[in-house]
Amino acid sequence: MAIDNNQVVQMKYEVKVGGNVIDSNVDKEPLEFTFGAGQIIGGLESRIAHLNEGEEASVVVPAEEAYGEYNPEAMQKLPKEQFDGIELSVGLPLQGTGADGQPVQVSVKEIYDDEVLIDFNHPLAGQDLNFDVAIVSVK
């Protein structure tokens, strides 16, 4: 038996990049999502479709099926005055607005005298994600 579209799944997970845990709900409430509705990354969803309630698995989601490859051209220099009141530092995550008007997470790549170089890549772009998952329930 496998998980079908529109079933509600509860899942415990731990995700690692390069051996470091970057997110986990192991000691928290399970993540609840509707399978096939695009609520979790597609690469993970396709790799757990064969699991049943009570099963566990370790899966690797390659970057291109997670947050995409790192795009070195996804940078933009913006006037420093747009960041008045923000204490800028390299690597600082900021909330920005994408071309479609949706919120996106960006980060400060470089700081110049009158400009700031912003990186529009997702923080996990270019990273393979290693998941340990446990399917708590399927309804």
Would you list the DSSP string of 7-68?
A: -EEEEEEEEEETTEEEEE-TTSPPEEEETTTTSS-HHHHHHHTT--TT-EEEEEE-GGGTT-
* 87: Cβ contacts below 8 Å, ≥ 6 apart: none
Assigned architecture for domain 8-67+125-138: Roll (3.10)
pTM assigned to the model:
0.82
Which residues of the chain are under the pLDDT cut of 50? none
Taking CA atoms, 121 is separated from 27, 67, 108, in Å, by 30, 9, 11
Q: Is the dihedral of CA 18, 24, 27, 30 positive or negative?
A: negative
What pLDDT shows up at residue 1?
66
What pLDDT digit, counting tens, does each position of 96-124 carry?
777 788 888 899 999 999 999 999 998 89
Q: According to CATH, where is 3.10.50.40 located in the chain?
A: 8-67+125-138
- Provide CATH 2.40.10.330 ranges for the chain: 75-119
- The fold for domain 75-119 equals Thrombin, subunit H (2.40.10)
